[in-house]
């Protein structure tokens, strides 16, 4: 079951992010009263926290079209031209992972975002002429998990900026309950709580877990949530097998208090970028490890998790 298709259809269904929703209601209402397109928006933060869903929700609220594209597919000027020349008045252009756009293409967006036009040079050398081509007024919504990689001139052209952080456990329970209601899938409050505690506060992870629970329950209606979580590689508190492989590297080097990123990469057999962007953010935020100038240090939470695993999970069927 593809639960990611069950996105919120309006602001009421969009759970959490109270400040974002409060401000967005004002911006949407103002845009309607002024009969203008919404100002350009930049969404940044953790992956899977609702950036794409909110962009689609905005299009629904404004009753306009939305064009969704990945930043990595914009590598040449012609890619930008093809995008904007197919837009209509008040359309929304949503560029996911906008930091992945080819750096040379960014300058085209500066005029597009401010003046809704771009310049094209026709002819060569002495016969060359610059022609300005106007495009319909549109709203650019950019989403990124790496704000630092976006050029400052582009970032400054976004009038509305929203930060998407991890959701609270209470919010995750509401998301899970709402999804269960929509697909008519019965789970007890305790089972929903178990799932929410293993999502790392990320709705996308919650949907992945819920989809797998749905699959297992079709085959065996009595299988426990704990057993399902173990079957799909979730150890505890959302930590998965790869997180555990990373943490256990510290046990193999008890004589060293710190481990460098290259050493961890070699020991765990994960590339450095994967460790820094996928594994460490959650572990550092929740005090499992600490990042120091001399390397990574295993903290109390990390030690306790490893002790718990050695005691409760090894060799357990």
Which residues belong to the active site? 51-52, 96, 145, 204
In terms of DSSP bridges, do strands 66-70 and 92-96 run parallel, antiparallel, or are they unpaired? parallel
| Rounded Cα distance, 89 and 23, in Å | 24
User: From residue 294, how far is each of 41, 276, 297 by CA, in Å?
Assistant: 39, 16, 9
| Rounded Cα distance, 181 and 73, in Å | 37
Please check whether residue 131 is in contact with residue 122, taking contact to mean a CB–CB distance below 8 angstroms: yes
Please check whether residue 43 is in contact with residue 68, taking contact to mean a CB–CB distance below 8 angstroms: no
Residues in the chain: 317
User: From residue 41, how far is each of 88, 144, 163 by CA, in Å?
Assistant: 18, 11, 11
């Amino acid at each position: 079951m593809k639960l990611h298709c069950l996105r919120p259809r309006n602001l009421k269904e969009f759970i959490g992010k109270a400040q974002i929703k409060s401000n967005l209601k004002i911006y949407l209402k103002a845009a309607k009263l002024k009969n203008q397109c919404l100002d350009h928006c930049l969404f940044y933060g953790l992956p899977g926290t609702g950036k794409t869903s909110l962009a689609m929700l905005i299009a629904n609220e404004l009753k306009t079209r939305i064009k969704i594209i990945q930043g990595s597919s914009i590598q040449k000027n012609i890619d930008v031209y093809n995008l904007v020349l197919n837009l209509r008045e008040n359309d929304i252009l949503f560029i996911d992972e906008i930091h992945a756009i080819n750096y040379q293409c960014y300058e085209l967006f500066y005029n597009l975002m401010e003046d809704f036009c771009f310049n094209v040079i026709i002819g060569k050398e002495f016969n060359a002429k610059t022609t300005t081509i106007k495009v319909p007024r549109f709203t650019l919504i950019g989403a990124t998990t790496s704000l630092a990689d976006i050029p400052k001139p582009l970032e400054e052209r976004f009038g509305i900026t929203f930060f998407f952080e991890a959701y609270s456990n209470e919010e995750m329970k509401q998301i899970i309950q709402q999804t269960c209601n929509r697909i008519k899938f019965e789970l007890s409050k305790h089972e929903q709580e178990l799932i929410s505690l293993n999502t790392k506060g990320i709705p996308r992870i919650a949907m992945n877990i819920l989809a797998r629970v749905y699959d297992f329950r079709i085959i065996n209606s009595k299988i426990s949530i704990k057993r399902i979580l173990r079957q799909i590689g979730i150890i505890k508190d959302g930590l998965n097998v790869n997180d555990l492989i990373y943490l256990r590297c510290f046990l193999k080097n008890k004589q060293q208090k710190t481990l460098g990123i290259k050493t961890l990469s070699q020991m765990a057999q994960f590339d450095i970028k994967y460790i820094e962007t996928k594994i460490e953010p959650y572990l550092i935020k929740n005090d499992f490890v600490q990042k120091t100038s001399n390397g990574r240090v295993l903290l109390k939470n990390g030690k306790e998790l490893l002790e718990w695993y050695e005691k409760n999970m090894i060799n357990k069927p």
